[in-house]
Every structure is written in C-alpha cells, then in structure tokens.
Amino acid sequence: MALHLFPAPEPRMPLSAIQPSDDAATLYATLQAELLAGQPVTTLHIGGSHTTLASGRGEGEPALRSIAIGSRVTAATCFAYASPTEAELQSAASLIEQAVIPASAMLAAGSALYTADSGIRQIAIASGLQAQPEMLLTLQELEQTVERVTAVALGRPAAPDDLPSDPAFAATLLILRACLRHLGFDRIVIRSDGVV
C-alpha cells in the first residue's frame, strides 16, 4: 500500500468558499480591479498548511485551487533535521511535484504569476534581488537558490552562505519551484503587502 503524505488536491472552489485570509484570491481581485483588468492572471499563496492558486481573466470569479501542501506541514513531515538533508530535499520535492501538477489544468492560458507572500519575498532577496515594492524572480534565479540550499545540505557551500536555515524556508523554496516548473511559469512577480 502506498503512503501518501499529502492528500489529493481539493476540487476547484467558488470565490465565496475561500476565507478572507487566503491571499491568492485577495491579490487576484486587487490585480483585476486596479492593474490588469481583463488580462489572464494567476496568483499564488503558500501558507503553512496549504498552497492556494487563483487564476482567471477578467472580473468574474477566478478558478481557485487549494493544494494540501504548505511550508510548515512540508517542513514537519519531510525534514527530520533543522537543516534538511539532500535526500530529504529530493523526497520532499517529489511529493510536492505530485501535489502541484494536477493544478495546471485550472490555469488561465497565458497568465502571469503574482504573489504577495512574505516567504516568497524572502526567497527573492536570498536569490540576490533588491528589496522593492515589486520584484521579478525568474525560474533561473530560483534554481540557483535551490542549488545553494542543496550545496549546504551536502555540507559544501561554495562560500559562507547566509541562506535562512529554517526548514520552512526550504519547503517554501521547493513549493515555489514546483509551481513555476510544473505550472508553466518562467517567473513570478512579487508585490509587497503595501502595494496590494
């Protein structure tokens, strides 16, 4: 019998079923109302226990998906140590990818990916971006940060690395990479809470 750490993704939910604290739906509504009206947009929120996506075009209700992976849950279930090992990172990445891939069917074609998550902002800064109200993190920059985390896990950073050692940081990094890679995005726009 197969062991599944993450349950199957939940079905699409109408906007009214999402709690006000779900930043993906809130950011989607803000972007459609103020900046990108009518353009295809997907928003991402990586929470402690769930990852939420909102995707659509225009003022109508977006397609919403809540995936049962989050930074705290992934860190607690996949990482036995304060600093994850390479094997733990690989195992977690595989489980995350399996949970994320089915969400690709609900995305608006040609959409741009946005977030207002502070954890993703922390990843962007760790990836070398300057802190600004709006930042653009590419998949290539993200992959370089994953390589740095893996090097630390192997005990061989090229130079002293100031990456956060918090397991939730590593989990958020892997979830973000899976979302970009497997949902067809080559970048994510990170907006500060003040811009939202």
**Domain membership of residue 34 as a residue range:** 15-191
pLDDT value at residue 18: 32
Q: How far apart are CA 189 and CA 187, in angstroms?
A: 7
Q: Let me know if residue 9 belongs to a domain.
A: no
Tell me if 184 is assigned to some domain.
Answer: yes
The size of the chain, in residues, is 196
Dig out the tokens for 121 from the structure: 């902002």
Q: How far is Cα 83 from Cα 168, in angstroms, rounded to an integer?
A: 10
Domain for residue 2, yes or no? no
Model pLDDT for residues 80-121, shown as the tens digit of each residue: 988 899 999 999 999 999 999 999 999 999 999 999 999 999
Percentage of the residues of the chain whose pLDDT score is greater than 70: 84
pLDDT over 90 at 4, yes or no: no
Is 126 part of a structural domain of the chain? yes
Number of domain units in the chain: 1
Residue 23 near residue 117, CB atoms below 8 Å: yes
**pLDDT computed for residue 141 by the predictor:** 98
CATH number at residue 106: 3.30.420.150
Q: Distance between CA atoms of 149 and 155, rounded to whole angstroms?
A: 10
Q: What is the pTM of this model?
A: 0.85
Residue 196 domain flag: no
Query: Quick check: is 129 in a domain?
Result: yes
Distance set, CA 55 to CA 25, 42, 110, 115 (Å): 9, 4, 11, 12
> Does residue 94 lie in a domain region?
yes
pLDDT, tens digit, 9 for 90 and up, residues 36-64: 778 899 999 999 999 999 999 976 789 99
C-alpha 89/C-alpha 78 separation (Å) is: 8
Q: What are residue 41's DSSP bridge partners?
A: 56, 112
pLDDT at site 124: 97
DSSP state string for 102-159: GGGGGSPTTPEEEE--HHHHHHHHHTTPPP-SEEEEEHHHHHHHHHHHHHHHTT--SS
Distance separating alpha carbons of residues 83 and 132, to the nearest angstrom = 29
